[in-house]
Chains A and B, each alone.
Chain A
Amino acid sequence: MTVSSTRPPGTAEKVRPPRRSSPARRQNIAGWLFVAPFGLVFLTMLILPLGYAAYLSLFQKALIGGTRFVWFHNYVKAFHDPSFRDGVWFVIRFSLVLIPVQMAISLAMALILDLMVNRLAKFSRLMIFMPYAIPAVIGALMWGFLYSKNFGPLADIFSTFGAHAPDLLSSNLIFWGLFNVVTWQWAGYYMIILFAALQGIDPTLYEAARIDGASQWQIALRIKIPLVAPALLLILVFALIGTLQFFNEPKILQSLAAGAIPEDFTPNMYAYQQAFSLANYNYGSAISFSLGAVVFVCVYIFLFATRKRGSFLR
């Protein structure tokens, strides 16, 4: 996505300039016709619901007294609501810890696998990727069992050292309990993307470096990582968006750890509770939009910090 500058000219962004006048018209119509089916779904399944949610968020609903128009009161309320603010703070903290670690693990795994060409590497690649194919419901269910103090393997392992196993579903440690589930689920996916990017690098670059006396370590640091930086950036942005919207894993683990994961644990969970448990679609929508604003700001800050802003939307 950001590599247009390195690509040989001719294949890139340059969409063919129209040569005759009738093809230009043809371009117009055909182009829209190709895009139209998706455009229709896009309008009805994305723009319309978003617009409707924006509309809903301007009303206030109470069990007694019904619904009334309140302008932006729900947004003011959301940003003063400790439940929402604590939730936002949690997902930001979680992102700040999770994403760097997850990226480091994924990148390290990709580099190792890129280095090794044998059966073990091939097998490992597939196995590490496998959790991606597992529904979050089932992933959380499995880890919930594995965390068990009573019958999980953690208990066995720790008791051989005479220690008590940590309770990863307790309020104090739920952060790490979730951290592990998410890392397990997604690290392989990110690894595969980075691995594919590494495989796309021209091997003659390595040869040249080796002739210059570079070690594998130096090759990784000086050649490989810079060349996969665009892929790294892409997955960082996706990881950031996904983590700020954190929902599935905590919502599912909640059935095992209601005390540690309250209904307003993350902003998205809070929105869901307001909408579906308390029948307050209006406030739920306002929370969703407020969260959207937070996501936008965070992504923008991130892109600014990495000086790649605009490249996403080139």
Chain B
Amino acid sequence: MSADDAARGSSRNRRPRYLPLQILLGFLVVYFLIPFWWLIINSSKSSVGLFGGGNALWFSDDINYVENIRQLFTYGGGIYGRWLLNSALYAFVGGVGATVLAVLAGYGFAKYRFAGRRLAFAILLGAVMVPTTALVIPTFVLFAKIGLTNTIWAVILPTLLNPFGVYLMHVYARDAVPDELLDAARVDGAGELRTFLRIALPLMRPAIVTVLLLSVVASWNNYFLPLAMLSDNRLFPVTVGIGLWQSTASTYGAAGGQSLWSIIILGSLVSVVPLIIAFLTLQRYWQGGLSIGSLK
């Protein structure tokens, strides 16, 4: 790295000094953005434009956005719109639910010394290491036994589990909510729940936004859980729906007469827009919140 040539002197005017680093940064940004650029460009193409040998990173002769958008939202009886709504529902219910549970539990672990607390917390930390994919198989079999597979609950219930979120809330509540404030509230006669809602909750807001965002992203991006649980394509979230189109486009005898690749690419673009907007608008909260649990 070229940090040392930029390092001498104590001038606070940094701009010109880090030119090599700025250039490096520029390259990195290009690398991280290329796939997005590709997505934006190629969702304008028809299948002829896609596969006909034109430049992959520039528009082809006919810009097909309007036609592709029309196809995207009308193909299969407009199923794509429904997938988006499903994703929103799963992400909202699953994300909010997981966050509420994590806030309550994290606060409980941080601020109450109850019997069995240490053991429970140790088990919780162990659970952070259990990957969700390993749980899909037994959860599927159990859900099948009680008839929950192929329902929205098969997707929502497992996403409520977020041990890492509890851990983050615990760390944050422990450090950001002073015991003295809680005690003062109690002395004033407030109940435990009231104390929590009035005193602790506002103080925990940055962490709550972070955990909420992480949960919503995890839920929105979830693929294998709904893939395994759902067989009715009208319940699919958008990730599984696009996967369905992709497999249809890649299976002989399944995609005749209509090109799916254009709407797969446009559908991918449309499906990432909501999360990008959420991240950009909420950046003030999550950028700080993400450091919880590592250094505070």
A–B in direct contact per CB < 8 Å: yes
> Is the Cβ of A141 less than 8 Å from the Cβ of B32?
no
The reply on A79 being an interface residue by CB < 8 A is: no
Residues 87-140 of A at the B interface (beta carbon under 8 Å):
108-109, 111-113, 115-118, 120-121, 123-124, 126-139
- From 244 to 300 in chain A, residues with beta carbon under 8 angstroms from any chain B beta carbon are 245, 247-248, 251-252, 255, 268, 271-272, 275-276, 281, 284-285, 288, 291-292, 295-296, 299
Contact A216 B6, CB 8 Å, known A49-B138, A120-B25, A142-B39: yes
Chain A interface secondary structure, helix, strand, loop or mixed?
helix
Segment touching B, from A34-42, A69-77, A171-179: A34-42
B108 lies within 8 A of A115 (CB): no
Contact B192 A141 (CB under 8 A): no
Flag if A313 contacts B125 (CB, 8 Å). Answer: yes
Q: Is the CB of A193 within 8 A of B294?
A: yes
Q: Given the complex of chains A and B, what is the CA–CA distance between A18 and B186 in angstroms? A: 13
**Would A135 and B221 count as touching, CB distance under 8 A?**
yes
Tell me the bound Cα distance from A186 to B133 in angstroms: 18
A146-170 interface bits toward B, Cβ cutoff 8 Å, 1 = contact, 0 = none: 1010111100100000000000000
Q: Cβ of B66 < 8 Å from any Cβ of A?
A: no
Contact of A184 among B35, B105, B171, B279 (CB under 8 A): B35
Chain B residues with CB below 8 A from A299, complex form: 129
Give the residues from 1 to 36 in chain A that come closer than 8 angstroms, CB to CB, to chain B: 1, 3, 7, 11-13, 15-18, 26-35
B105–A197 CB distance below 8 A: no
Q: How many residues of B contact A (CB 8 A)?
A: 112
Q: What is the count of residue pairs linking A and B with beta-carbon distances less than 8 angstroms?
A: 314
Contact A128 B221 (CB under 8 A): no
Q: How far is the CB of B178 from chain A (nearest CB, A)?
A: 8
A58 an interface residue at 8 Å Cβ cutoff? no
Cβ contacts B222-234/A at 8 Å (1 or 0 each): 0110001000000
Contact of A1 among B3, B130, B294 (CB under 8 A): B294
Complex CA distance for A110 and B15, rounded to whole angstroms:
18
Q: Which residues of A contact B130 (CB under 8 A)?
A: 46, 50, 292
Q: Chain A residues near B6 (CB, 8 Å)?
A: 216
Whether A42 and B124, one on each chain, are in contact in the complex, defined by CB atoms closer than 8 angstroms, is yes
B252 within 8 A of A: no
Q: How far is the CB of B175 from chain A (nearest CB, A)?
A: 6
What chain B residues lie within 8 Å of A37 (beta carbons)? 100-101, 104-105
Contact B290 A193 (CB under 8 A): yes
Question: Least Cβ distance of B210 to chain A in Å?
Answer: 10
- Would A50 and B135 count as touching, CB distance under 8 A? yes
Which one of A17, A34, A115 lies within 8 Å of B107 (CB-CB)?
A34
B50: interface (CB < 8 Å): yes
Please tell me if the beta carbons of A27 and B34 are within 8 angstroms of each other in the complex.
no
**Contacts A52-B138, A120-B25: A126 and B283 contacting too (C-beta < 8 A)?**
yes
A21 shortest CB reach to chain B, Å: 14
Complex Cα–Cα for A136 and B192 (A): 42
- Does B14 lie within 8 Å of A196, measured CB to CB? no
Known: A142-B268, A192-B287. A49 touches B139 (CB 8 A): yes
- A304 in the interface (beta carbon within 8 A): no
Most buried by A among B246, B287, B294: B294
B293 to chain A, nearest CB (A): 6
Q: Does A227 contact B (CB under 8 A)?
A: yes
Q: Which residues of A contact B104 (CB under 8 A)?
A: 34-35, 37-38
Tell me the complex Cα distance, A128–B124, Å: 31
B residues near A225, Cβ cutoff 8 Å: none
Which residues of the partner chain B approach A255 to less than 8 Å between Cβ atoms? 246-247, 250
Distance in Å: Cβ of B278 to nearest Cβ of chain A: 8
Say if the beta carbon of B212 comes within 8 Å of chain A: no
Residues of A near B133 (CB, < 8 A) are: 245, 247, 268, 272
In the complex, A241→B28 CA distance in Å?
Answer: 26
Number of A residues contacting the other chain (C-beta, 8 Å)?
118
In the complex, are the beta carbons of B142 and A48 less than 8 A apart? yes
State in angstroms the CA–CA spacing of A52 and B94 once bound together.
Answer: 24
CA distance A132 to B278 in the complex (A): 12
Please state if B137 and A271 are interface contacts (CB–CB under 8 Å): yes
Q: In the bound complex, how far is the Cα of B198 from the Cα of A255, in angstroms?
A: 52
Q: Which residue of A lies closest to B165 (CB)?
A: A38
Task: Point out the residues of chain A lying under 8 angstroms from B120, CB to CB.
Answer: 35, 39
Distance in angstroms from B133 CB to nearest chain A CB is 5
Contact A126 B105 (CB under 8 A): no
Q: Identify which of residues 97-114 in chain B touch chain A, using a CB-to-CB cut-off of 8 Å.
A: 100-102, 104-105, 107-114
Bound form: Cα–Cα A7–B171 in Å? 13
Indicate if B83 sits at the interface (CB-CB under 8 A).
no
Contact check, B239 vs A137: say whether CB atoms are below 8 A apart.
yes
Residue on B nearest A214 in the bound complex, by CB: B7
A248 and B272 in contact, given A27-B112, A34-B105, A231-B294 (Cβ under 8 angstroms): no
Residue of A nearest to B22 (CB): A120
Contacts of A78 on B, CB cut-off 8 Å? Answer: none
Answer whether residue B254 sits at the interface, using C-beta atoms and an 8 A cutoff: no
Q: What residues of chain A lie closer than 8 Å to B184, measured between beta carbons?
A: none
Known contacts A46-B130, A53-B135, then 5 further A-B pairs from the complex at CB < 8 Å, ordered by chain A residue? A18-B113, A45-B139, A56-B141, A151-B50, A196-B290
- Ranked nearest first, the 4 interchain pairs of A and B with the lowest CB-CB distance are A34-B108, A31-B112, A31-B114, A196-B291
